[in-house]
Amino acid sequence: MKKKALILADEAMLSLVFGSKQRALLEELVDVEVFAGDYQDLDSVLAAMENVQLLFCTWGMKPLDKNFIAASTQLEAIFYAAGSIRYIVSDEFWKSGIKICSAWAANAIPVAEMTLGLVILSLKQVFTHSRNCTGPEGYRRLPVAGAYESTVGLIGMGMIGRHVRELLTNLEVDVLVYDPYLSDAEAKALGVTKVSLDELFTQSDVVSLHAPNIPDTRNMIRGGHFRQLKPGATFINTARGALVHEGELIEVLQQRKDITAILDVTNPEPPREGSPLYTLPNVILTPHIAGSMGQECRRMAQYMVDECRRYLNGEPLLYQITQEMIKTMA
């Protein structure tokens, strides 16, 4: 007899994340229903959890608090077709013993892909060149590092950082890494050189930030780091804006027109009205688009369908998150 599963998502997220292919594959594995009530009506959501053994959900998921746990008497596992679970779990959830898996690895793929593209463009100073070419007087080449024997610095070697490093093997560049949790043996296996944060900023042609947003990392990147950047260097942030002291970043960018900051994330998000980030010529601002968008969102559901298959077959889970793991995750 198949286990009872529920896809819990509002109409927009259901259409975006759980495609017809993923739903068809899920129907082969479990007796699946789709939540048909008012997603804003908490009582309807809790009522839908009756007799549910496996839950599939995504962005916008309700908090897994004591009321949710009390209503989910038969729930065994949650398959979260999105990234971070930090904002939905609770102490009551961890005490419940319910397993939770996340598609953070699937969400890491487009972030790493966008980072690779930005690194390559930055090594050619594409953004500076484009900005200068607004008139004949600016139509000139600047010195560039290029994508051969240049240096890329990665801050954080979690799922995204490791995938970026893997993609960088297509380029003949040296990769420096700052990550206090990375062992020497892991660094050797990854083909990277561990350095201090100061050394990374001093030696890199491009610096890309991939650390988690935890208390130890907030405001870890300061003005002093940006002042150490090479002439013409680029800083990329596709992680979280809270990791960067934004005021000090702006101050350095105003003083050093030769460096570029590519910011897909800010703090707050979007930047406050009147923020210099909107007008500084050496800032490339994008609205948090590095993660899964469009068709990429279906990959997250696919990862969770595959994880459900492993769960049902009694195989080791690849993407289960524990309370201990979340301490160092985004």
Catalytic positions are 240, 269, 288
Q: Are 80 and 102 in contact (CB under 8 A)?
A: yes
> Considering only CA atoms, which of 90, 87, 94, 25 is closest in space to residue 56?
25
Give the DSSP letter string of 263-302.
ES--SSSSPPTT-GGGT-TTEEE--S-SS--TTHHHHHHH
* Bridge partner list, 155: 178, 209
Q: Is 310 exposed, middle or buried (0-12, 13-18, 19+ CB in 10 A)?
A: middle
Pairing of strands 4-8, 31-34: parallel
Distances (CA, A) of 233 to 73, 126, 195: 55, 12, 18
Could you tell me if 237 and 289 are in contact, meaning their C-beta atoms sit under 8 angstroms apart? no
Beta-ladder partners of 260: 234
C-beta of residue 174 within 8 angstroms of C-beta of residue 196? no
Residue 163 to residues 34, 156, 263: CA-CA distances in angstroms? 33, 11, 19
* Beta bridge partners of residue 154, listed in sequence order: 177, 208
Q: Which amino acid is at 16?
A: L
Query: Rounded to whole angstroms, what are the CA distances from 284 to 126, 177, 229, 231, 328?
Result: 11, 24, 17, 17, 29
Query: Measuring CA to CA, which residue among 169, 220, 176 is closest to residue 194?
Result: 176
